[in-house]
């Protein structure tokens, strides 16, 4: 049986002096196989709690696995967000002080790429990997170091997590939607890896940094690979020294956990880790299913044309024909002297992925997010 270690990482403190801490679990492989190392975190957004249940199930299962590489797991990644309640609801998506999305506070400075390539143009692949990882970690350490201006609570949490993530080759950031089906945010270059998860729907994202954890951990390496290519050295992203892959794994709906479903999600992650050589347990294989994908530009939000009470009609994950209703809006204020029911449809076939959590919406509320121009992968 594999043993894990547990540490408590200090990420800040409250006005009362109470410490903000995050649990960190780690498995260390006994062998010297050159398998990719792994970092998995959950609950960066307060209401998105299913990932904690998935990490619980992974901790249970990994103790019985044949480990080929080190794995670090962090539940409750944001101790402020998961405790940010308003009545019975967990808010926790935005920093209540700054208003910034908790998952948009990670760091990448594009300006480090060109000087690094110039200084290491003829270095070996192994040297490039080691030195560039050290540079990324030094950048985070510099951010965390005391200076006269300081950093926000959210940045301090994000940078501490990012420091752990930069030490891994594979990063999985576990999230959920409001009311949602399972789906995967996947870098375009890593599309082939999407087939190893038991997730039917994949969003292929650009190789651009927008502040999220997945982008913060693969975009630096993508930018580095592109810069070397421009200088005449060709490396393949996802292989060798550039074997970095990062995904945002959307596990369903927020504000709830299901331990049985979490076990299936854990098995899905293990099938991916088996495919990547992180574990050597061939019983973990991806399920056969039809997998659909679209590019991020074709992952569209539908906003409510009016205020009212929404009856969400469209099933998640199934193609919805053009003209078929996604929802209907009840306007009781119009009953008796106007139209009380209004149907909402689109003029193209789509796959609904998630919808707003509440039935009560204002005009302009994001009702649905859907795949357009989708294809099988």
CB 66 within 8 A of CB 98: no
Choose one of 289, 320, 344: the last residue of a domain: 289
Query: CATH no. for residue 360?
Result: 2.40.50.100
In Å, what is the CA distance from 200 to each residue of 44, 54, 238, 345, 377?
23, 18, 22, 23, 10
* 274 CA to centre of own chain: 20
Give the residue from 204, 179, 147, 173 showing the smallest Cα distance to 375: 204
Q: How much of the chain, in percent, has pLDDT values that exceed 70?
A: 100
Mean pLDDT of 173-183: 97
Sign of the dihedral through C-alpha 302, 303, 306, 312: positive
CA distance 180 to 47: 13
Within this chain, do residues 322 and 280 fall inside the same structural domain, yes or no?
A: no
- In terms of pLDDT, which residue wins out, 85 or 69? 69
Q: According to the model, what pLDDT value does residue 148 have?
A: 81
Give per-residue pLDDT as tens, 285-319: 999 999 999 999 999 999 999 999 999 999 999 99
Residues 95 and 221 in one domain: yes
Structure-model confidence comparison of residues 278 and 1, the more confident one: 278
**Above pLDDT 90, what percent of the chain?**
92
How far out from the chain centre does Cα 125 lie? 28
What phi-psi label fits residue 240: left (phi over 0), alpha (psi between -120 and 50 degrees) or beta? left
In this prediction, residue 188 carries a pLDDT of 96
For residue 297, what pLDDT is reported? 97
E-strand spans in 56-116?
71-74, 85-86, 89-90
283, exposed or middle or buried, with CB in 10 Å at 0-12, 13-18, 19+?
exposed
Average pLDDT, stretch 251-273?
97
**pLDDT higher than 90, residue 47:** yes
* Whole-number average pLDDT of the chain: 96
The pLDDT value recorded for residue 91 is 86
Domain range holding 328? 298-376
Supply the pLDDT for residue 144.
94
Residues 99 and 231 in one domain: yes
Q: Do residue 195 and residue 135 come from a single domain?
A: yes
Instruction: Single out the residue in 236, 256, 289 at which a domain terminates.
Output: 289
pLDDT per position as a tens digit, 8-19: 999 999 999 999
Domain count, the chain: 2
CA atoms within 13 A on the CB side of 77: 35
- Determine the average pLDDT of the residues in 82-110: 92
- Are 259 and 321 members of one domain? no
Say whether both 74 and 127 belong to one domain: yes
Task: Quote the pLDDT of residue 30.
Answer: 84
pTM for the complete prediction? 0.96
Residues 201 and 326 in one domain: no
Instruction: Specify whether 306 is located in the same domain as 207.
Output: no
Same domain, 185 and 255: yes
User: Are residues 250 and 128 part of one domain?
Assistant: yes
Tens-place pLDDT, residues 49-66: 999 999 999 999 999 999
Q: Is the pLDDT of residue 97 over 80?
A: yes
Q: Other C-beta atoms within 10 Å of 67: how many?
A: 22
Last residue of a domain, one of 289, 320, 336: 289
Tens of pLDDT, residue by residue over 232-241, are 999 999 888 8
Q: Give dist(CA 293, CA 202) in Å, integer.
A: 5
- For 18-35, the pLDDT digits (tens) are 999 999 999 999 877 788
Residues in the chain: 377
Q: Assess whether 22 and 148 both reside in one domain.
A: yes
What pLDDT sits at residue 56?
98
Question: What pLDDT was estimated at residue 201?
Answer: 98
What's the CATH code of the domain at 220? Answer: 3.40.630.10
Q: Give the model confidence (pLDDT) of 325-375 as tens digits.
A: 999 999 999 999 999 999 999 999 999 999 999 999 999 999 999 999 999
Q: Is pLDDT of 147 > 80? A: no
Same domain, 206 and 277: yes
């Amino acid at each position: 049986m594999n043993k894990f270690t547990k540490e408590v990482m200090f990420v800040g403190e409250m006005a009362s002096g109470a410490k903000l801490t995050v649990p960190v679990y780690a498995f260390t492989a006994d062998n010297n196989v050159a398998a990719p190392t792994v970092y998995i975190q959950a609950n960066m957004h307060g209401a998105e709690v299913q990932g904690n249940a998935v990490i619980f199930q992974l901790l249970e299962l990994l103790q019985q696995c044949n480990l080929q590489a080190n794995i670090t797991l962090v539940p409750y990644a944001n101790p402020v967000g998961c405790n940010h309640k308003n009545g019975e609801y967990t808010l926790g998506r935005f920093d209540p002080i700054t208003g910034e999305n908790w998952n948009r506070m990670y760091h990448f400075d594009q300006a480090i790429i060109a000087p690094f390539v110039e200084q290491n143009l003829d270095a070996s692949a192994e040297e490039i990997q080691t030195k560039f990882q050290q540079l990324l970690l030094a950048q985070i350490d510099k951010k965390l170091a005391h200076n006269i201006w300081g950093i926000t609570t959210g940045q301090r949490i994000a940078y501490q997590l990012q420091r752990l993530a930069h030490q891994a080759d594979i990063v999985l950031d576990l999230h959920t939607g409001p009311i949602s089906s399972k789906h995967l945010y996947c870098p375009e270059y890593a599309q082939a890896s999407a087939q190893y998860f038991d997730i039917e729907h994949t969003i292929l994202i650009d190789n651009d940094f927008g502040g999220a954890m997945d982008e913060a951990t693969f975009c630096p390496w993508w930018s580095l690979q592109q810069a070397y290519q421009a200088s005449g050295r060709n490396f393949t992203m996802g292989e060798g020294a550039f074997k970095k892959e990062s995904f945002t794994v959307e596990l369903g709906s927020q504000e709830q956990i299901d331990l049985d479903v979490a076990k299936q999600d854990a098995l899905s992650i293990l099938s991916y880790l088996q495919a990547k050589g992180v574990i050597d347990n061939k019983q973990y294989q991806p399920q056969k299913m039809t997998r659909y994908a679209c590019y991020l530009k074709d992952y569209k939000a539908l906003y409510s044309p009016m205020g009212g009470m929404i009856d969400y009609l469209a099933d998640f994950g199934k193609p919805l024909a053009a003209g078929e209703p996604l929802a209907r809006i009840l306007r009781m204020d119009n009953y008796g002297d106007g139209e009380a029911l209004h149907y909402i449809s689109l003029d193209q076939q789509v796959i609904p992925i998630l919808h707003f959590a509440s039935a009560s919406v204002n005009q302009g509320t994001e009702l649905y997010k859907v795949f357009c121009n989708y294809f099988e992968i």
